[in-house]
Amino acid sequence: MKLKICGMKLNTSDVAQLQPDYLGFIFWEPSSRYFKGEIPDLPHQISKIGVFVDADIADVIKIVNKHKLQGVQLHGHESVEYCVQVASELKKCNQKVEIIKVFSIKEAFNFDVLIPYENVCDYYLFDTKGKLPGGNGYTFNWSVLKDYPSTKPFFLSGGIGLNNLDKINEFIKSPESKYCYAIDVNSRFEIEPGLKNIEELQKFKEAL
């Protein structure tokens, strides 16, 4: 199971020493975890993911090139056409950049909405529906995923913390986890927005 730590801002280098598979940087200005500045040098095996919310495509491409991102996470209401255009523009830059399309869930979800996206993104990410596009701090009903109709790998996100380890272990043993590719964590491991608790992340990574 891969691990993605999102909402990087204040102690990125310290988090990188834990060697997660992905680090997420939020490029949505209203977020308290909005990233500006330069991403420090990271171990080559860590993929840098840029998180965007209904951003102008030109801005997405500019940020990908500036920070040499390996992936973009689309966390808004991006259409299929938007995803196609992002992929096309990235291809012009001769870069292999993965596209992660986010869908928010609470108690129920109509998986039919995924069908048009099957051929335009590399992964799905399922997060908790809340007031904000992400970082709301609580989990959704994972049993909804028993109806997952796709074979596309997905990230499981939304308020995951140390207190969810037993639940995660149960989920991993269940049929609905078959295509779960990675666990995505953020707000439950923070001292303040963008400042991660290294000790707790270490415990979580070891347990995972």
- Please name every residue paired with 71 in a beta bridge, in sequence order, or none if there are none: 49, 98
Kindly report which listed range (33-37, 125-129, 183-187, 189-193) carries the lowest average pLDDT score: 125-129
Burial pattern 3-18, b for ≥16 Cβ within 10 A else e, equals bbbbbbbbebeebbeb
Residue 25 C-alpha from the chain's centroid: 9
Q: What range defines the domain where residue 125 resides?
A: 2-207
At 178 the three-state DSSP class reads coil
**pLDDT(160) > 90:** yes
Cβ atoms of residues 7 and 24 within 8 Å: yes
**pLDDT(131) > 70:** no
Whole-prediction pTM: 0.92
The 8-class DSSP code of residue 46 comes to S
Higher pLDDT, 58 or 129: 58
Query: How many domains, the chain?
Result: 1
Q: What is the CATH number of the domain that holds 109?
A: 3.20.20.70
Q: Strand pairing of 71-74 and 22-26? A: unpaired
Helix (H) or strand (E) segment spanning residue 26: strand 22-26
Residue 164 C-alpha from the chain's centroid: 18
pLDDT, residue 107, reads 80
